[in-house]
Amino acid sequence: MNLCAHQVFDRMLLCGDTATRLRFAVSSSSPVLMAELADLKKRNKRRSVRMIKCRADGGRVTVGDDVFSVTTSSKYEVDYLGQSTKGDLNLKLDPLHSFGNGQATLEGPIEEVARTEAQAAENLIRELGIEGPFSAQHSPRGIFCSRTLNLRSISVIGYDMDYTLMHYNVMAWEGRAYDYCMENLKSMGFPVDGLSFDPELVIRGLMIDKEKGNLIKADRFGYVQRAMHGTNMLSNKAVSEIYGRELVDLRNQSRWEFLNTFFSVSEAVAYAQMVDRLDDGFISADLGTLDYKGLYKAVAKALFRAHVEGQLKSEIMSKPELFVEPDPELPLALLDQKEAGKKLLLITNSDYHYTDKMMKHSFNKFLPNDMDWRDLFDMVIVSARKPEFFQMSHPLYEVVTGEGLMRPCFKAETGGLYSGGSAQMVESSLNVHGDEILYVGDHIYTDVSVSKVHLRWRTALICRELEEEYMALICSRGHREELIELINQKEVVGDLFNQLRLALQRRSKGRPAQTLAATNLDDQELTETMQKLLIVMQRLDDKIGLMLESDGELFNKRWGFLSRAGLWDKSHLMRQIEKYADIYTSRVSNFLNYTPFMYFRSQEQSLAHDSPLPDVAMEN
């Protein structure tokens, strides 16, 4: 972690509320904060006892069906944002009288009442040591909303496993995948000696141009902003010459390969390095005539063998502690959702043995009362064969023994463990459909896009890099503000220069300039002013160019920020996320800060003509 990252965490630690401090206490094992954690637990326990025993009238507090009711699926309505009200908690009117004159405090202008009651509730939340609902939103572990989502109306939440419920150490996991890939390439006759895994070469969201041997980063429109041939970054001029007149079209799968997930890192690194070997003439002619597309096929085949032959997963299963980064908060987040009435599904492409081994390692030690990871899920589906799982039907098998023996079956039941099947089968078995289901995964296509397009499921994308990018953006704030100021200065100077240039052009053609004064301006004064402005613009361009090259280097020195392409625009990956993921976040455990009842509202989308306009007198 760099110095700036430490400063950000320190700021969050010092300025955050109690819950934020305690989360850092657990992660950092700080003796002072751990003592605070123990003290808070004691105070909360005493407070809970008092709350149960006491009330103003001396009786016992009872909060349940006699006070609240939940909107059912048969009686829901649609709110003003178009969201279902199913799952909303409603107040029954009769019990309100038991609070005496308390109702009187709710009278008056609703704006004032809302402010008063919100402040009172916020004070209570702070006293209880619970993290406020707004602090989580503005943090590296926030959940960000592209399309409004009422979590209360969701009946079923499905989860992918790899890099979703389970985060791997990228250097360890992808490093070993790379090693196996290189061993397979070497056995095929490719020169791999001296090469090593370098994850900084690539980031998620890049595309491999299999025709030209390049990795490229595109903006939201598909225009290429940065490119790397082999492991060598290309200049802006070279990028313009190669890609200036074409757009990236991911539908052309014979040419483009989108790096959707961390699993793409090892493949992209290996391909870039082998392009260098091909260009340098180190690949033997005995392998036949190879172009960049053929080279990609060879690399992909070598990596596929590493996965199919099972050596990689066997190594991970034997020493999961070397590859998996457990998240103690994750099982608790899922437990909250389950206890809130959500049906939880695990839908993974991994096989049963691998799934069971890795989930036990990641979950069981953090669950209460000797729970097993299986107890969290209403249905588990392994070897799901996504994305086909969301598009078509495959035979369904029930896993009936701990050794993984299976038998054919025709209908899935709640609590079952299955292999194969289809999303339509899940909907039928649970009697839920479309937007009643939220699916959470890390792959923008296999998990998010296909389930959204074909089934209209609600979707959430897990992107762990968001935490690092969030902090990098904070650390880059001063740099970007200075850069924007320079660009604004260049725009002002450029606009002034253009007016003088137009005056010069009209005068040179024997026509009057924009004004009589401009027409009569001394030639020497006009040219000297234009010369000065040209020099200023050139100096500004030199500084802006260098600063633009370094923008985003706190995240990745070659490619800049994950979500941005250039200073102003979004990356192609970010456009895909906005289009297909209703919400996105860095890890599943972030749901713990938002409760299973959260109403996620999308932000206002800015447009080019939203710029503030000067007051203009309206005339009839």
Confidence of residue 57 (pLDDT cuts 50, 70, 90): very low
Residue 138 confidence (pLDDT): 82
| Beta strand 207-209 pairing with 256-258 | antiparallel
- CA–CA dist 157, 149 (Å, integer): 13
How far is CA 341 from each of CA 113, 153, 154, 312, rounded to the nearest angstrom? 31, 11, 10, 38
- CA–CA dist 5, 22 (Å, integer): 19
pLDDT in tens, 10-28: 444 433 444 444 444 444 4
Mean pLDDT across 329-345: 95
Residue 91 confidence (pLDDT): 80
Q: Which of 25-34, 118-127, 146-155 has the highest mean pLDDT?
A: 146-155
pTM of the shown model: 0.85
- CA–CA dist 146, 225 (Å, integer): 24
How far is CA 277 from each of CA 193, 195, 272, 395, 421, rounded to the nearest angstrom? 11, 10, 9, 44, 43
DSSP character for 29? T
Residue 32 confidence (pLDDT): 47
pLDDT in tens, 198-251: 999 999 999 999 999 999 999 999 999 999 999 999 999 999 999 999 999 999
Sign of CA dihedral 434, 436, 439, 444: positive
In this structure, are residues 161 and 613 in contact, taking their beta carbons and an 8 Å threshold?
no
Confidence of residue 289 (pLDDT cuts 50, 70, 90): confident
86 vs 25, higher pLDDT? 86
Among 87-91, 183-187, 194-198, the range scoring the smallest mean pLDDT is: 87-91
pLDDT in tens, 133-186: 677 778 899 999 999 999 999 999 999 999 999 999 999 999 999 999 999 999
Give the contacts of 588 (CB within 8 A, at least 6 positions apart). 159, 164, 165, 327, 330, 333, 334, 440, 462
* Three-class SS state of 374: helix
Q: Which residues on neighbouring strands pair with residue 458, listed in sequence order?
A: 438
Give the contacts of 64 (CB within 8 A, at least 6 positions apart). none
Sign of CA dihedral 241, 244, 246, 252: positive
DSSP character for 607? -
In this structure, are residues 470 and 140 in contact, taking their beta carbons and an 8 Å threshold?
yes
pLDDT of 326 above 90: yes
User: Looking at this protein, which amino acid is placed at residue 259?
Assistant: L
| Beta strand 416-420 pairing with 406-409 | unpaired
pLDDT in tens, 305-314: 888 778 888 9
Among 164-173, 332-341, 400-409, 570-579, the range scoring the smallest mean pLDDT is: 400-409
Q: Is the peptide bond before 368 cis (omega within 30 degrees of 0)?
A: no
pLDDT of 33 above 50: no
Neighbour-count burial for 68-96, b at 16+ CB within 10 Å, e otherwise: eeebeeeeeeeeeeebbebbbeeeeeeee
Nearest to 143 by CA among 476, 448, 564, 470: 470
Residue 224 confidence (pLDDT): 96
Q: Which residues on neighbouring strands pair with residue 460, listed in sequence order?
A: 440, 583
Nearest to 360 by CA among 349, 371, 346, 344: 371
| Beta strand 232-233 pairing with 256-258 | unpaired
- CA–CA dist 510, 141 (Å, integer): 64
Structure-token pair, residue 495: 């606009």
